[in-house]
Amino acid sequence: MTQQRDYDNIPGTYVYDSERGRVGYHLNMFCMSLNKAENRAKFKADPEKFLDGFKLTPEQRRAVLARDWLGMLKVGGNIYYTIKIAFCDGLTFQDVAGMMSGVPKETYAQMMLAGGRSPHGNRYKDRPDI
């Protein structure tokens, strides 16, 4: 029997479980390589060439090059890893969180200052009323 994934009905959330781990490994290992300053420099200088060194799927490659943060999560990206691309770009966690939730940076920052996103309406995909 496979594990019950009772978290699948949480909206807007990509749990890095075995399903994603099976497809995301190489994408995340590319991100891990950016812990080294020399690799950050190489990636910045020639992103396409640097990515050739990793076994990314075409869609993973596209998402990285386009900085499609949400898209990366959908093809196996793990946020603790993909954030390293953002750090390399000089972005912060809050910048990326705003982009993933699809609102301007200022709107997201204001939401956080006002206490963050409410859990109400954000608990279940099919129950926006609670």
Partner 1 sequence: MARIVAGIGCSHVPAIGVAIDKGMTGTPYWEPLFKGYVPAREWLAKLKPDVAIVVYNDHASAFSLEVIPTFLIGVADEFPIADEGFGPRPVPVVKGHPKLAWHLAESLILNEFDMTIANQMPVDHGLTVPLSVTCGQPQEWPFPVIPLCVNVVQYPPPTGARCFKLGQAIRKAVASFDEDLKVVIYGTGGMSHQLQGERAGLINREFDTAFLDRLTTDPQALSRLPHTEYMREAGSEGIELVMWHVMRGALNDDVREVYRHYHVPASNTAAALVVLENRSAT
Residues of this chain that interact with partner 1 (CB under 8 A) are 6-7, 10-18, 21, 24-25, 28-29, 31-32, 34-37, 40, 70, 73, 78-81, 83-84, 87-88, 92-94, 97-98, 100-102, 108, 111-113, 115-119, 122-124
* Buried-exposed string 76-115: b where 16+ CB fall within 10 A, e elsewhere: bbbbebbbbbbebeebeeebbbbbbeeeeeeebeebeeee
- Dist. CA 121–CA 11, nearest whole Å: 9
**Is residue 122 a contact partner of residue 12, using CB atoms and an 8 Å limit?**
yes
**What is the total residue count of the chain?**
130
- Dist. CA 5–CA 1, nearest whole Å: 12
Task: Please say which residue, 59 or 88, places its beta carbon nearer to partner 1.
Answer: 88
Give how far the C-alpha of residue 32 lies from the chain's centroid of Cα atoms, to the nearest Å: 13
Q: Residue 20 CB, nearest distance to partner 1 (Å)?
A: 8
